Structure 1
Amino acid sequence: AAMSDKVVPIDSFAADIFGFSEYLQSLLDQELLNFIARHALSSKLADAVHYVLFPGGKRIRPLCLATLLVDCGGNVVSAVPAALSLELLHNASLIHDDLPALDNDELRRGRATCHKVFGEATAILAGDCMVSLANMALVDSTVSPALSLELSAWHSRAYFSLCDGQQLDLDGAASQEALLELHARKTGALFGASLASAALILQFSDEVVKQFAALGQDLGIYFQLVDDALDQFGSDSQRGRAGSSDSRNDKQTLFRNHSEYDAGEIVNGRRSSLYSAVGQLEKHVQRSFTLFRGVLDSLDRRLEDCLPQVLDKAI
């Protein structure tokens, strides 16, 4: 089926990030199904890819891309090829991250991980396959060759950085500086590519593309800190897995290496700088990031659920 070219007006969502998120998830699910169906895979590999992608997680990287795009006057449907690419890369990294050789996780999003269902060999192949599919999502789309090349370059660099960050994770980063650098690479790079993608689709200048990418990296670091807080203090239902994966694998996090108060101070500092950067970029492009701020609010609520004393309500 061809991708819909229907323009969904921003007014239909106003500041309703939940309504927008549901709409985007439905759109992406359908486009992912269509895209995977167009590329013939052997049945077991196709089953593994489908298992990982559906039902998906929060689709937060595509959500960040789409909210900023719409906030800046773009058509949400124009985000779809880049959104598919980002979601495929992210899920490929999760398959590999969960393997016994890395995090050895048996649960992801509340159910058995890919390698527990399909075996390690097929899980590895599924992850590799999805990295290729991510690039094909851009190349095989209606995106102009020039834009496709730029998006592919950003996404490839981000995945390269993610792999480098995973190695830092395996090496056991311990200091605050090392942990933040790890987060910048392993999580921040793909968020940076998500926001850079929005700026590229909007045909913003190279300077603004880099500013969007920097904002995305800051967001990725904050997202990872929230995730670490959930892992340390959240319930199994909040985590979507049994027990603390970081504790089980003896991984260092800010919340394991610092007192709760000191870790809270660090998180608040990152959060303050993130909101400040959002405000500066809004002024620079003369747009209000209404929907995007809704994404930030949802992250704040996740943090508040497991560690309410961390949030500084003054922001």
Structure 2
Amino acid sequence: MPHPTPPGPPPGPRDPGDAWAVGPDGTKAWGRFGAAGLLVDDGHGRVLLQHRVEWSHHGGTWGIPGGARHQGEDAVTGALRESAEEAGVPEDGVDLRHTAVLDLGFWTYTTVVGRASRPFDPVIADRESLALSWIPLDQVLDLPLHPGFGASWPALRDAITTTPHVVVDAANVVGSVPDGWWKDRAGAASRLLASVSTLAAAGLPADALGLGFDRWWPRWTVVLEGAARGADDVGADVTVVRAEGSGDDAVVAATAAAVDAGDAPVVVVTADRELRERVGALGAEVRGPGWFREQG
């Protein structure tokens, strides 16, 4: 979804990314280093859309806040920055869900999809918006949509409620590598939690979860048992279950809770044969410890 050039230079230094990218056939798209935008839903069946000013490219249509990426800026950072600048979206108020990339070869547009982690009111913060509004999902197609957003909306709409969830059987994953973990079970579990936290921040490739688009940010639950329960805490992006009894029972309970909540796919990381059968009966998919290590 190409971003229009502003009618005049903005105040302050101009980033090198605020320029046209030109394809081999002369096609022009705004953003020398590509562009990105944010599609955020409020968790109650509405998405935040921007009514574009008339002077802009495809002015008068509705789309998502976004724009040119800065030099050296990744797409997620660019989308969050642009949505904060254009619509007052709090950068720490969005839980990432997935990214969808339109690649024209010479230029890319990345749609970053997220969910508001807390309520907020959008604010028109620059000259590029006529209006900003939370639009019910079933009313989006009633609006005159920006052609790029309109083309991508059906697939984005189908995935808006998709929430993958990874449940990690820590004892099995840690025990799959003979690195001396038995000498310090809590320390080994702490290292595993740090690895999970890194993956939670970076996201997983879509094909690792059997999903479409480019990258996903699943929910993560790690189950600890025995001495491993003494592992250090990690950030709020990882749920840690410190099982008082059977670790396997706690993995099954965490899996059942994720399935009951409507998360899908639910992926359980374990090589334990009996546990694989138990969570599989709940509808979960199973991956071995090697799959987890490959993601790092």
TM-score, normalization by structure 2: 0.34
Q: Larger relative contact order (C-alpha < 8 A, sep ≥ 6)?
A: 1
**More strand, by proportion:** 2
TM-score (norm: length of structure 1): 0.32
